[in-house]
Structure 1
């Protein structure tokens, strides 16, 4: 018998001063059995940091043709392709051709990801943004996870202030460019 996904519920207060996004929302995040807590937290961070109308979780773990997070316009067309973890260059290349904007959020060493992409064709590589967090931040956030979660997330001048179930953390949001 296959093990099903674990559902985590988040009540989110988002204040992204850098982008002018201020929202309160509730979201259910399904953690696939093969997905680590760190990956799920990074996926949640990507969702919050990219939050806009039309955003949704994709089927990245179970569906090869969708990213972890995507944004669709009112016609259903994908406008933003947001990967999580350490996707290979071919996947990022395909995402860049499918959407007008591509971002990758990682809980891994960004230098290793950039090295793996070096010399490989990535459509509009100069527009691709790889974002990472301070060492240990994602793991500390994952340690505070529960099934029902209260999350307050603020971003100002590239600094992330994060409170999950009473655990307060902060991290820089580091941007790395491919080209």
Structure 2
């Protein structure tokens, strides 16, 4: 018998000063059995940091051919493909051809992620940012997640402040490029 996803509910207060985005939202996130808490947290942070009209979590799991976070316009066209973790080079190449914009958020060592994504094999690789969070930040914050969590996400000058149910964390959002 296959294991089913576990549903997490996040009451998010987002204040992204860098982009001028201020939003309160309720997110229901299905954590798939093969998904780590660190991956799920990175997925939620990517959603918050990329928030705009038309954003949604995909229906697919960790190994799906669809991005964990997508932005679609009113016609259904994918305007942004937001990947998480250490995606496959072929997947990112396809994404760069499909979507207007691609971004990768990782909780893993960015040097290893970048090494696994050779720029010469990826369409428009020079336009794809890879954002990384300190691994200790992600591990500590992931340990504070409960099935229902109040979350405050604040970003100013690429410094991320995160409050998960009263536990406070902060880290610098590092930006890297494939090319």
**TM (normalized to structure 1)?**
0.97
Q: CA deviation at 1:119?
A: 5.4
Superposition RMSD on alpha carbons, in Å? 1.2
Distance 2:119 2:106 in 1: 20
State how 1:11-160 maps to structure 2 within 5 Å.
Answer: 11-61=11-61, 64-118=64-118, 120-160=120-160
Where 1:97 maps in the other structure, the secondary structure is helix
Where 1:136 maps in the other structure, the secondary structure is helix
Aligned residues of 2:119 and 2:125 also touching (Cα < 8 A) = no
Distance 1:79 1:114 in 2: 23
Distance 2:153 2:119 in 1: 36
1:161 aligns to 2:173 (yes or no): no
Distance 1:121 1:83 in 2: 17
Unaligned runs of 5+ in 2: none
Q: Deviations 1:91-148 (Å, cap 9, x if unpaired)?
A: 1111111100000000100101111112541111010000001230111111001000
Q: CA deviation at 1:62?
A: 5.9
Where 2:7 maps in the other structure, the secondary structure is strand
Aligned residues of 1:18 and 1:158 also touching (Cα < 8 A) = yes
- 1:18–1:62: structure 2 CA closer, same or farther, 3 Å change rule? closer
Q: How many residues align?
A: 179
Where 2:48 maps in the other structure, the secondary structure is helix
Distance 2:7 2:119 in 1: 39
Q: CA deviation at 1:65?
A: 2.8
Distance 1:63 1:169 in 2: 29
Q: CA deviation at 1:13?
A: 0.2
Where 2:160 maps in the other structure, the secondary structure is strand
Q: CA deviation at 1:162?
A: 0.3
**TM (normalized to structure 2)?**
0.97
